Structure 1
Amino acid sequence: MNPITIGSFEDFEKFIGQGLGVSDYHQITQEQINKFAEATLDHQWIHTDPERAKSEGAFGDTIAHGYLTLSLVPYLWEQIVQVENLKMMVNYGIENLRFAQAVLVNREVRLNAHLKNVVNLRGTIKAEVEVKLEIKDQRKPAFTGVLVFLYHFNA
C-alpha cells in the first residue's frame, strides 16, 4: 500500500472519520528486545531471558516491552502517511493508551490508523489518530490509543 500524502490542513480534513490505512508487518526479534532493554535499562527477565521465560514465564517465551511496541509508531506511521510541506511535527500526547496483549518474540505487528479529528489551532494543526497495533494471526491488538500530533506546515 502506498502512503497517503498530506501537505496541509485541508488535506488532513478530507480524512476525518476515515481509516488512513495499515503499515507493513514488522517482526520483533530477540535482538531488538535486547537492544531496547539496553537503551532503557529495563532488563526484566520476561523480556531478556529466553530460557527462564520458557520455563517460568506466563507466556511461554520472551515478550517485547510494551514501550518497545509503542516506540515502533513513528516507523510504522511513516508507512501510512507521508506528511510534506512540513516545518515541524511534535508528538503532543497519547490518550487512552491500553496494552491489550503481550507481543511474543518473533511475532509480527503492524499499525492500523484511523483519523479521529483534525483541528486548525491558529496555524498549528492538531491531529488525533486512533491506532491499534495488530499482531499477525491474533484477534486482540498489542495496544490501542489515540495519538495526538501537532503539525506546523510551511506557509
Structure 2
Amino acid sequence: MNEPIPAEDLERRVGGEIGVSRWFEIDQRRIDAFADAIDDHQFIHVDPERASRDTPFGSTIAHGFLSLSLLTAMGKGVLPTIAGEAMVINYGFDRVRFPAPVRSGARVRARFVLSEVTRRSDRELAARYAVTVEIEGGGRPALAADWIILTLLKEQVNLA
C-alpha cells in the first residue's frame, strides 16, 4: 500500500502517469467464474473447443466487463491514498472501450494517468484517471477508460 499523500499533492500530479499495476492472469477458471457471476455463458467465453473452431480468436476470450471489474484490484498499491480519507467510492466511467480481446491464458495490467482533480466540496475530491489495460505481448489495449474515483475526507481540505 502506498503512503498517504496530502490532498493538495494529488492536484500536482495531474497529467502524469501515476503507476502501472502488477500482471493479472486471465485463465479459463477466472473467465468461467465471471460468466457464472454475471450469467453470461456465451460460447466465446466458456467453450474452448467451439471458440477455437468457430471464432477468429483461436480460443475463448474474457468478457470485456471482466477486464473492467479488475480495475479495482489493479489500482491497489498503484493509485494514491489521500491522507485523511474517510472512504473511497467508485463514481463510474465517462468512457469505456474494449479495443482488443483478452484470450484465455493472457496476462493483463493497468496503466493509470491522472487526468483531472476536482474539488466537489470541502471534503470531497473527484479524481479522473485515463486507464489503459495492456495485454502482455499485445499491440492494442484490452481496455481504455476514463474512470472517476471520489475520495471523501474526514476533514476540510483546501486545494489551489
TM range, normalised to the smaller chain?
over 0.9
Please show how residues 5-154 of structure 1 align to structure 2 within 5 Å. 5-84=3-82, 85-122=84-121, 123-154=123-154
TM-score normalised to the size of structure 1?
A: 0.93
Shift of the 82–15 alpha-carbon distance from structure 1 to 2, 3 Å rule, reads closer
Q: Distance in 1 between matches of 2:67 and 2:4?
A: 25
Q: Distance in 2 between matches of 1:81 and 1:135?
A: 20
Return the offset for 1:93: 1.6
Unaligned runs of 5+ in 2: 156-160
Identity among equivalent positions (%) equals 34
Give the number of equivalent residue pairs.
Answer: 153
Unaligned runs of 5+ in 1: none
Deviations 1:84-140 (A, max 9, x none): 532111111211211100000010000000000101111210100000000001110
Return the offset for 1:82: 4.3
Q: Distance in 1 between matches of 2:62 and 2:103?
A: 6
AA aligned opposite 2:125: I
TM-score normalised to the size of structure 2?
A: 0.90
